[in-house]
Amino acid sequence: MAEIFQVEIITPDRVFYSGSANMLEFNTESGEIGVYARHIPVTTVLRPGIVTIHEEGGEKKAAVHGGFAEILGDRVTLLAEQAEWPDEIDKERAEQAKERAEKRLKGKEENLDVLRAELSLKRALTRIELLK
Partner 1 sequence: MASMKDIKRRRSSIQSTQQITKAMKLVSTVKFQKAKGRAEQVHPYFEHMYRSIVSILGRSDNISHPYLTAGESSRKAVVVMTANRGLAGGYNSNIVKLLTSQGFTKEDVDVYAVGSKGKEALAHRGYTIKADESEIMEAPNYNDAKALCDKVLESFSAGEVGEIYLVYTHFKNTVVHEPELVKLLPVEFSDEELEGKEESKLLMNYEPNPEEALNEIIPKYVTSLFYGALVEAVASENAARMQAMDNATNNAEEMIEDLSLKYNRARQGSITQELTEIIAGAEAIS
C-beta of 66 vs 131, nearer to partner 1? 66
Residues 95 and 128: beta-carbon distance below 8 Å: yes
**Site for partner 1 contains 30 (CB under 8 A):** yes
Task: Please select the residue that binds partner 1; options are 4, 10, 119, 128, rule is CB under 8 A.
Answer: 10
Residues 81 and 94: beta-carbon distance below 8 Å: no
Binding residues for partner 1, total number by CB under 8 A: 24
C-beta of 50 vs 79, nearer to partner 1? 79
C-beta of 29 vs 92, nearer to partner 1? 29
Q: Distance (Å, rounded) from C-alpha 47 to C-alpha 66?
A: 5
- Give min distance, CB of 58 to partner 1, in A: 25
What are phi and psi for residue 111, nearest 5 degrees? 35, 50
Task: Please select the residue that binds partner 1; options are 1, 41, 58, 92, rule is CB under 8 A.
Answer: 41
Task: Please select the residue that binds partner 1; options are 44, 89, 102, 128, rule is CB under 8 A.
Answer: 44
Q: Distance (Å, rounded) from C-alpha 18 to C-alpha 37?
A: 16
Q: Nearest-5° angle of CA 72, CA 6, CA 41?
A: 5
**Site for partner 1 contains 20 (CB under 8 A):** no
Question: Residue 48: helix, strand or coil by DSSP?
Answer: coil
Q: Distance (Å, rounded) from C-alpha 24 to C-alpha 48?
A: 15
> Which residues contact partner 1 (rule: CB under 8 A)?
8, 10-15, 28-30, 40-45, 67-68, 70, 72-73, 77, 79, 81
